[in-house]
Amino acid sequence: MKIRQLALVGGVTLALGSQFTSAASLDDVMKARGLTHKDVLAAAKTYVPTGKRDEYLAFSSGGQSGQVIVYGVPSMRILKYIGVFTPEPWQGYGFDEESKAVLAQGNIQGKSITYGDTHHPAFTETKGEYDGRYLFINDKANPRVAVIDLHDFETKQIVANPLYKSAHGGAFVTENSEYVIEAAQYPTPFENEFVPLEEFNDKYRGGVTYWKFDNKKGRIDQENSFTVELPPYSQDLSDAGKGPSHGWSFTNSFCSERYVGGIERGRPPFEAGCSAKDTDFLHMINWQKGEEVVKAGKAKKINGMNVISMETAVAENMLYLIPEPKSPHGVDVTPDGKKIIISGKLDSHTWVYSFDKLMAAIKAGNFKEKDPYGIPILNMKDTLHTQVQLGLGPLHTQMDAKPCIAFTSLYVDSMIAKWDYCEGKVLDKVSIHYNVGHLVSMEGDSVSPDGKYLISLNKLAIDRFNPVGPLHPQNHQLIDIKGDKMELLYDMPVPLGEPHYVVAIKADKLKPVIRYKSGWNSREDKRSPFKTRAGREKTVVTPGKVEVFGTTIRSHITPEIIEVTEGDEVTIHLTNLERAQDETHGFAMYGQNVNLSIEPGKTVTAKFVADKAGVYPYYCTEFCSALHLEMEGYLLVKPKGYQATEVKAQEGATYTEADYNKQVKTNIETQAVIDSVVGFITSHNYQDFPPVVALVEDATDQLGFAKEAKEKSEAAAAKKDWQNGALWANQWWQYQVKAADIGLRAKTYLEQHDAVKVK
Amino acid sequence: MKIRQLALVGGVTLALGSQFTSAASLDDVMKARGLTHKDVLAAAKTYVPTGKRDEYLAFSSGGQSGQVIVYGVPSMRILKYIGVFTPEPWQGYGFDEESKAVLAQGNIQGKSITYGDTHHPAFTETKGEYDGRYLFINDKANPRVAVIDLHDFETKQIVANPLYKSAHGGAFVTENSEYVIEAAQYPTPFENEFVPLEEFNDKYRGGVTYWKFDNKKGRIDQENSFTVELPPYSQDLSDAGKGPSHGWSFTNSFCSERYVGGIERGRPPFEAGCSAKDTDFLHMINWQKGEEVVKAGKAKKINGMNVISMETAVAENMLYLIPEPKSPHGVDVTPDGKKIIISGKLDSHTWVYSFDKLMAAIKAGNFKEKDPYGIPILNMKDTLHTQVQLGLGPLHTQMDAKPCIAFTSLYVDSMIAKWDYCEGKVLDKVSIHYNVGHLVSMEGDSVSPDGKYLISLNKLAIDRFNPVGPLHPQNHQLIDIKGDKMELLYDMPVPLGEPHYVVAIKADKLKPVIRYKSGWNSREDKRSPFKTRAGREKTVVTPGKVEVFGTTIRSHITPEIIEVTEGDEVTIHLTNLERAQDETHGFAMYGQNVNLSIEPGKTVTAKFVADKAGVYPYYCTEFCSALHLEMEGYLLVKPKGYQATEVKAQEGATYTEADYNKQVKTNIETQAVIDSVVGFITSHNYQDFPPVVALVEDATDQLGFAKEAKEKSEAAAAKKDWQNGALWANQWWQYQVKAADIGLRAKTYLEQHDAVKVK
């Protein structure tokens, strides 16, 4: 039994399995698994075969995980968790200096916060259509809004609201992403000071912040953002006007009773006093007017934020209140911008307001009364289009592609109602699993919803899935809404976080990049000053500091040895030199809490103080090639004042001329195989297949490296340095193996995609 | 249009949707979605209808995410991410003091590490069978092993290896979970000191640690664990013997060349020197003998760990080396314990060793030679059963239910080979997506694998799914192995982390708890000294400290107001009083990085210094009831020396006798509805349905609370205190609504599960 090195017998591998069809019939499978015909239909409606794509991508808030979840519809497969408010090591998020800078933007009164309670994601819009450029998401616990770039699915910016201490109701976007809307929730003083609860009515405040979005830069412009001061009514969700209602926004509220609990001192709890009255207030704000008011210098600055006082807002006729069903959760403007739909969880009716009637009432000055803060209250009867009894605990509404058709979740009934908001009639109901909160239809918040699918966001699924302990997954249920009757298709467990809301976009609107430009700081979207090219790696030592400009490429990190002295501040910049899109490298180091993710082209930085003498291995954490375990190195931290003794390293293994010759022979054989693979590829129309073109490009790179190693090997051999001759010959072979691996992939791809021979 | 409060019209809600069958046929769906018959068959084999269970649960390493991923097979739906080495806010992991204590056990040389590079999960075993009690997982970057309790899916313990600075090869479990095996990887000195690389051969060391597992306590017993010192050969994965080979363990290695790179100083990189020779070493260790050696006092203590030196191990005949194919990745003992299978990625053969032949060679003292450290090397030819050419880049092997049948991943070929390791022949091959690493078959590491399904763990899926930016998901492909031919069923994206290995267990072996005993510290598995019962909430103020003993129950936190002084150390213990399993409450507070998850029964603790005067709202982060937004409170931090002024709070809203009477009338009507629901339930055989019994129990609790609120309301009314009368009447109604909600769920459940009337 001869020991053989990798015999690259390109071309003889056969996918035997794919030649056979299954012995089992569909009936057999149904019987064995207890499936009904309806189940099989649902399976067929959701199954996405290998290599095929989902039609929509859903972006879900990750609740208290502080992340955003991306999944495909209809397969309901989760594609990515994006780190937003919480450090996440797989992405290196919060570990490299570049992303730490993004997280630091979200510090609260100077304090680092390592989680977020994400609630409502929203896409950028152009003329009310999702444009697939950016996604916004808010943090309720520490009022912040994050900007996620959909070109690379990374968080680029976090802004902290300088006035609020609670903000459930964000993010909502105006028709051309002029502003991102964030409303306060639990009232607090705007100033970061103690104010006794006894002064709640007078000094605690709510508000709605309009974060200016710079569409060119893709960043929120804090300087040109503004906030409208509001009474302490616990503002909740918002929606921006569309079409005829463009320029206005709508924000609902709960606890407009302004109740302050204190069960521990004998007072009825918040929940009793916050839901005692029959109605709360819908806030209607003319933000276009607000923009003018700020420009006219009528706003005051508080903590650096432009604030329009209630008094000014009333004087400028930009703020009105309208009674709404008690404890509502969600206000939704219809795609035509003409109606506003609100459900109160404790009212079995869903209310539909007419924007025309609202405007007419304002024009007529037809105010029922003013609230204690002087804000005009419109007469509900003047402004309602209709009230519809949908069921118990109506909560949130999403729109269909068909005009006048909407879907509303019924929390108490555990159902979804399909209804006509123009005619005011119920069309269909479907039972879902319980604890339903929000809903999402495809492109449901845009001016032209696609409908097609509806996802019911149910909480804490205690009996839908295999049990996994006392903390349960959530259950996102997919419903087919293409026909007249809704059909439940799929139960998707959410394994991390309690999502509040989801938005879904047509997948082909997204065009994410597959690699970065070389030497890229992805968080700032520009070339990194620390980028390093192959062969230009260096280590700069200054007193007390060591700065490494290194690179990664399969399968080694340059440098492989870093020497520093105890107490040094160590900075390691690493650039991933790869151009192949699946060649992300990681970088983890023992004992220093260093962990980086370096996608092709990226430059990232780790920084730490080497405060203890010792030996600290580092390595690539990604399975980047057959030799990925060998992608390693050592940080050596010498004690202060260390004097090296004269120790000459002994090689662990020695190589002879015979070893050199053996390796060279193998390499020549390997090259013959590579040449035959290259021959196959170039004799076919490979240029018609972009993935193959990319692979060929990559293989050519590897062969270039092989050539360099071959030269080093031959130079050493010429000097009869068989040790280095053999080792460099092995390195030459390493590159050959990588090239061959890529070549075989390319060949297989061509075979499987019916490439044809070219002359 | 009359405004109505929630009209509880129990019994009239109809699941209209479920009455209709779909208009679309399977053929229509196939045509519309471009599905083949094979696709539909795969869909039917993997689809799990709502409420049904998966057959297996897979526990996947989360790679650099530092978490463990749990998913169902065959549906491939992810059910949970378990926080292990990385803080995770949804679970409150690393936020409450109880879990912080677990994470702190994993500090490295006193330093907090906030990630892990998880690699190989392993279940506890009894007689070689998975017993579903605990799961172990290692961290490669900072050598640690964590213990996850499968009764509640929480991490209970982390042990840090005091000798290693790198450890890829863990965790592997002996036949009765006597030990958890963890091998070193990149060699380093055992002591936490600087040793120059020139002394690599003499002072850098590898090793295998046997962590003693206390099966009664469910914790690793560090005192009775031990490590066998090994040469600096970059030890890798291990497997424990079974049946006849019980008492032995096997650990492979790479870079037995002991090569030290240094590409930045002109040396060939690690990858060249670490794969230059044709073979590496399989290490064979008699750990039962090792246990005796330690008991006999022949081990020395290094950093508190029992260490058996190489010299002692050789002298005690417990350590042998055998040549193995170069750069192997995985050593796997067959279910009968008689053979050991190893593949080297750079060798196209997979090698099968015979345990009998190994023992015979040892008995015969038939050693080829000794290594430089004096360890006997067995002659490969004497110990091999066979070598089989499976394909290019063979990597990892899993076992079938049928004897002699195994599956091996082929990294370069991007295929899985099914083969017979007794006869040494290939039976079938199937193409998978590329970058395949490990494989897992159902219960594949146990003495009686179930086979059935095989999962191929492919890395960095660049073209299988909708693109989500430069950092790609992994692709876990499900393969049906029940028939003679393997069939690819499903592509599952892994959205967070790069899993290295997965283990899968029959789902019905797991019996997770659904709630904790009241007042439970889940991390220590005992009652918390800080547990608090309803009505016993208190706040203890001592100089500079405020300690709150609070509770949560839908929908209020007690206390609702916490007053402290700037600079106070604030400790908040919260006990979740709920008994309903879907009533997890969260607790998030502005600006203090406080975020807790409190499952029913749990007691957890938040601790922080209130270093800045101000107003800090807190609230429940879970959508726990219709009034969850109202589950709120305020931390008030007063400036030092603050003197309260005489301000009397004004109520935001006032209530009259009419308000009181109106609410009471509503409550009486609501009670009638509740009575009718109760009547329906109790007139049916609800006691035959455990979920309904639990709901009834919960509803009864709520009605008890309603009664208490009713009494308070009536007491206030008797004193003509209409304000408190109306508010407590509202609270009474809140509890009624909760009871009614639960009652309606129970009623729906009975209707949907064909409950029958009882006399």
pLDDT tens-digit series, residues B520-572: 999 999 999 999 999 999 999 999 999 999 999 999 999 999 999 999 999 99
CB atoms within 10 A of CB A107: 15
Contact state of A153 with B471 under an 8 Å Cβ cutoff: yes
Task: Measure CA A405 to chain center.
Answer: 30
Which chain A residues touch B22 with a CB distance below 8 Å?
Answer: 38, 41, 483, 487
Residues 6+ apart with CB under 8 A from B292: none
CA nearest to A188, candidates B632, B459, B160, B625: B632
Residue A759, token pair as written in the block: 């002359």
Show me where the domains of chain B are located: 56-509, 520-638, 657-752
The secondary structure of A531-597 as a DSSP string is ---TT--EEEEETTEEEEEEEEETTEEE-SEEEEETT-EEEEEEEE---STT--EEEEETTTTEEEE
Q: What is the distance between the alpha carbons of residues B421 and A702, in angstroms, rounded to a whole number?
A: 36
pLDDT of A464 = 92
First to last CA, chain A: 43
pLDDT of B649 = 82
Are A586 and A622 spatial neighbours (Cβ–Cβ below 8 Å)?
yes
Question: Is residue A249 reached through a cis peptide bond, with omega within 30 degrees of 0 on the bond before it?
Answer: no
Residue in the block written with tokens 């090397």: B377
pLDDT band at A574 (very low <50, low <70, confident <90, very high): very high
pLDDT of A3 = 33
Rg over alpha carbons for chain B, rounded to the nearest Å, is 31
Instruction: State whether residue B392 sits within 8 Å of chain A by CB.
Output: yes
pLDDT of B13 = 34
Element (DSSP H or E) covering residue A208: strand A206-214
Question: Please, how many CA atoms are within 13 Å of residue B74, restricted to the half-sphere of its CB?
Answer: 26
Which chain B residues touch A731 with a CB distance below 8 Å?
Answer: 268-269, 271-272
Q: How many residues does chain A have?
A: 759
Q: 258-297 in B: which are within 8 Å (CB) of A?
A: 258-265, 267-279
pLDDT band at B17 (very low <50, low <70, confident <90, very high): very low
CB atoms within 10 A of CB B34: 9
Q: Which of A414, A627, A639 sits opposite B748 (nearest CB)?
A: A414
Instruction: State whether residue B139 sits within 8 Å of chain A by CB.
Output: no
Residue B663, token pair as written in the block: 């609410």
pLDDT band at B397 (very low <50, low <70, confident <90, very high): very high
Beta bridge partners of B409: B416
CATH of span B56-509: 2.130.10.10
Q: What is the distance between the alpha carbons of residues B316 and B691, in angstroms, rounded to a whole number?
A: 59
pLDDT of B345 = 83
Instruction: State whether residue A650 sits within 8 Å of chain B by CB.
Output: yes
Whether A685 has a pLDDT exceeding 80, the answer reads yes
Whether B97 has a pLDDT exceeding 90, the answer reads yes
Instruction: State whether residue B718 sits within 8 Å of chain A by CB.
Output: no
Residue A71 class from Cβ within 10 Å (0-12 exposed, 13-18 middle, 19+ buried)?
Answer: buried
Residue B197, token pair as written in the block: 């690389």
Average pLDDT over residues B210-227: 98
Contact state of B652 with A510 under an 8 Å Cβ cutoff: no
In whole angstroms, how far apart are CA B378 and each of A4, B370, B490? 20, 9, 44
Q: Collapsing DSSP states into helix, strand and coil, what is residue B726?
A: helix
pLDDT tens-digit series, residues A443-468: 999 999 999 999 999 998 888 999 99
Are B226 and B299 spatial neighbours (Cβ–Cβ below 8 Å)?
yes
Average pLDDT over residues B182-199: 97
In whole angstroms, how far apart are CA A58 and each of A111, A714, B589? 32, 56, 29
Whether A613 has a pLDDT exceeding 60, the answer reads yes
Q: What is the distance between the alpha carbons of residues A492 and B203, in angstroms, rounded to a whole number?
A: 53
Are B113 and B85 spatial neighbours (Cβ–Cβ below 8 Å)?
yes
Q: What is the distance between the alpha carbons of residues B356 and A63, in angstroms, rounded to a whole number?
A: 56
Which residue of A lies nearest to B348 if distances are taken between CA atoms? A6
pLDDT band at A717 (very low <50, low <70, confident <90, very high): very high
Whether B18 has a pLDDT exceeding 70, the answer reads no
Average pLDDT over residues A147-169: 98
Q: Which of A76, A254, A561 sits opposite B262 (nearest CB)?
A: A561
CATH of span A520-638: 2.60.40.420
Average pLDDT over residues A298-304: 98
Distance from CA of B296 to the nearest CA of A (A): 32
pLDDT band at A14 (very low <50, low <70, confident <90, very high): very low
pLDDT of B11 = 34
Whether A13 has a pLDDT exceeding 50, the answer reads no
pLDDT tens-digit series, residues A278-293: 999 999 999 999 999 9
Query: If you average pLDDT over every residue of chain B, what do you get?
Result: 94
Between helix B26-33 and helix B37-46 the angle, nearest 10°, is 110
Residue A23, token pair as written in the block: 């012995």
Q: Collapsing DSSP states into helix, strand and coil, what is residue A23?
A: coil
pLDDT tens-digit series, residues A161-177: 999 999 999 999 999 99
pLDDT tens-digit series, residues A352-394: 999 999 999 999 997 879 999 999 999 999 999 999 999 989 9
Q: What is the distance between the alpha carbons of residues B681 and B685, in angstroms, rounded to a whole number?
A: 8
Query: A73-87, A105-119, B739-753 — which is least confidently predicted?
Result: B739-753
Q: Is beta strand A451-458 parallel, antiparallel or unpaired with respect to A474-480?
A: antiparallel
Whether B20 has a pLDDT exceeding 60, the answer reads no
pLDDT of B5 = 38
Identity of the residue numbered B641: G
Phi and psi at residue A724, in whole multiples of 5°? -70, -30
The secondary structure of B626-666 as a DSSP string is TTGGG-EEEEEEEPTT------PPPPSS---HHHHHHHHHH
Which chain B residues touch A431 with a CB distance below 8 Å?
Answer: 15, 17-18, 748
CB atoms within 10 A of CB A216: 6
Are B172 and B120 spatial neighbours (Cβ–Cβ below 8 Å)?
yes
Instruction: State whether residue B198 sits within 8 Å of chain A by CB.
Output: yes
Are A529 and A604 spatial neighbours (Cβ–Cβ below 8 Å)?
no
Whether B10 has a pLDDT exceeding 50, the answer reads no
pLDDT tens-digit series, residues B120-157: 999 999 999 999 999 999 999 999 999 999 999 999 99
pLDDT of B348 = 84
Residues 6+ apart with CB under 8 A from B244: B336, B337, B338, B355, B356
Whether A410 has a pLDDT exceeding 60, the answer reads yes
Rg over alpha carbons for chain A, rounded to the nearest Å, is 31
Whether B14 has a pLDDT exceeding 50, the answer reads no
Instruction: State whether residue B623 sits within 8 Å of chain A by CB.
Output: yes
Handedness of CA A157, A163, A168, A170 (dihedral sign): negative
Q: What is the distance between the alpha carbons of residues B86 and B96, in angstroms, rounded to a whole number?
A: 14
Whether A10 has a pLDDT exceeding 50, the answer reads no
Q: 368-387 in A: which are within 8 Å (CB) of B?
A: 381, 384, 387
pLDDT tens-digit series, residues A268-280: 999 999 989 999 9
In whole angstroms, how far apart are CA A470 and each of A718, B100, B118, B601? 69, 19, 24, 10
Contact state of A13 with B391 under an 8 Å Cβ cutoff: yes
pLDDT of A514 = 86
Query: A278-282, A583-587, A750-754, B255-259 — which is least confidently predicted?
Result: A750-754
Q: What is the distance between the alpha carbons of residues B496 and B641, in angstroms, rounded to a whole number?
A: 49
Q: What is the distance between the alpha carbons of residues B688 and B691, in angstroms, rounded to a whole number?
A: 9
pLDDT band at B347 (very low <50, low <70, confident <90, very high): confident
Which chain A residues touch B650 with a CB distance below 8 Å?
Answer: 201
Distance from CA of B44 to the nearest CA of A (A): 6
Whether A719 has a pLDDT exceeding 50, the answer reads yes
pLDDT band at B366 (very low <50, low <70, confident <90, very high): confident
Are B654 and B723 spatial neighbours (Cβ–Cβ below 8 Å)?
yes
pLDDT of B273 = 96
Q: Is beta strand B614-619 parallel, antiparallel or unpaired with respect to B603-609?
A: unpaired
Q: Is beta strand A632-638 parallel, antiparallel or unpaired with respect to A561-565?
A: parallel
Q: Which of A50, A89, A500 sits opposite B86 (nearest CB)?
A: A89
In whole angstroms, how far apart are CA B659 and each of A103, A110, B655, B663? 49, 46, 6, 6
Q: Which of B1, B347, B626 sits opposite A346 (nearest CB)?
A: B626
Which chain A residues touch B109 with a CB distance below 8 Å?
Answer: 591, 612, 614
Burial pattern B228-245, b for ≥16 Cβ within 10 A else e, equals bbbbbbbbbbbbbbbbeb
Average pLDDT over residues B83-110: 98
Contact state of B434 with A745 under an 8 Å Cβ cutoff: yes
pLDDT tens-digit series, residues B426-450: 999 999 988 899 999 999 999 999 9
Q: Which of B81, B498, B614 sits opposite A496 (nearest CB)?
A: B81
Residue B158, token pair as written in the block: 């982390």
Identity of the residue numbered B228: V
Are A43 and B35 spatial neighbours (Cβ–Cβ below 8 Å)?
no
Residues 6+ apart with CB under 8 A from A271: A261, B555, B556, B627, B630, B631, B731, B734
Residue to substitute from A64, A387, A609, interface B, most B β-carbons within 10 A: A64
Which chain A residues touch B507 with a CB distance below 8 Å?
Answer: 466
Whether A184 has a pLDDT exceeding 80, the answer reads yes
Burial pattern B440-458, b for ≥16 Cβ within 10 A else e, equals bbbbbbbbebbbbbbbbbb
